[in-house]
Amino acid sequence: MSPSPHHEDRARGYVVPIGGAEERTGSMRVLRRFVKLCGGRRANIVIIPTASQLADTGDRYIEVFKKIGVANAISLPIGERADAERDEYIEHLDGASGIFMTGGNQLRLSTILGGTLVAQKVRRLNAAGVHVAGTSAGAAIMPEHMIAGGSMGLSARADGVNLAPGLGLTNALIIDQHFSQRDRLGRLLTAVSYNPFLLGVGIDEDTAIFISPDRVFEVEGSGNVTIIDPEHLSYSSMDRAKKNESLSLLDLKLHILSKGCRFDIHERKPYPPK
């Protein structure tokens, strides 16, 4: 699923995948930057807590956003597919300047939201200029292709990753979260080996990338972002590898970015902090 066509008179909204476990007290750099982008005190944040099975997840994020200074924050308790077709939830989304998807289980998020009016509305609003952030599972579902699970470790292995359709806010990246903390390099390598068109993006906890409408992103937060660029991949053994066998991937490019570093998705070029 590709991003919705954008409006010629309006820039797309930012897409903000967060690696999970973002600070919700203290400096809260990632969330504060998202709120500022959405209008600061005048922001209208709509929270989608569907990935979580904890009943208070939405309310806890309302408290966090209000602590930052947001006057209007609401959570949509979408727990089953029928909820994602409710007119009042669509109306709340229509008034949003920012949409925030919480963490939890990304397959729960995709199986409940996939193909619904809410999913369609999120894509169309982002194309019309509304900013969309997601943490952990909420980050994983953002691309066209979603990492749904896989093995831990440094090694790329056949069958080392499980993929599912994502929300389609970007079709150029595949995103993994809790990246360093959960040792997920191997499964991201495996994911990009399926189709070297995609850039692999591994985002650490308390770290985010702010993807601008011109397809340049900047890193915010306390951790690293790992970029795997397979554009010049000269050889992959994926097509002949047996189950759980180690893969050969030759001529990959690897970038490690920290706060303030930028990356041009179209040019596939990293930049140091300004």
Q: What b/e sequence results for 242-271 when a residue is b if at least 16 CB atoms lie within 10 Å of its CB, and e otherwise? A: eeeeebebeebeebebbeebbbebeeeebe
Average pLDDT over residues 161-168: 97
| Residues labelled as active-site residues | 136, 178, 205
Please report, rounded to a whole number, the percentage of residues in the chain having pLDDT higher than 70.
Answer: 98
**With 60 as the cut, is the pLDDT of residue 1 above it?**
no
User: Minimal CA–CA distance to 134: which of 100, 111, 166, 110?
Assistant: 100
Q: Assign 221 a pLDDT band (cuts: 50, 70, 90).
A: very high
Q: What b/e sequence results for 176-191 when a residue is b if at least 16 CB atoms lie within 10 Å of its CB, and e otherwise? A: bbbbbeeebbbbbbbb
Q: Say what the pTM is.
A: 0.97
Sketch the domain layout of the chain as residue ranges.
15-271
When computed from its CA atoms, the radius of gyration of the chain, rounded to whole angstroms, is 18
Provide the pLDDT for residue 47: 99
pLDDT in tens, 103-144: 999 999 999 999 999 999 999 999 999 999 999 999 999 999
Q: Assign 8 a pLDDT band (cuts: 50, 70, 90).
A: low
Residues 53, 235: Cα–Cα separation, whole Å: 42
Measured in whole angstroms, the distance separating CA 145 from the mean position of its chain's CA atoms is 11
**With 90 as the cut, is the pLDDT of residue 259 above it?**
yes
Q: Assign 7 a pLDDT band (cuts: 50, 70, 90).
A: low
According to CATH, the superfamily of the domain at 15-271 is: Class I glutamine amidotransferase (GATase) domain (3.40.50.880)
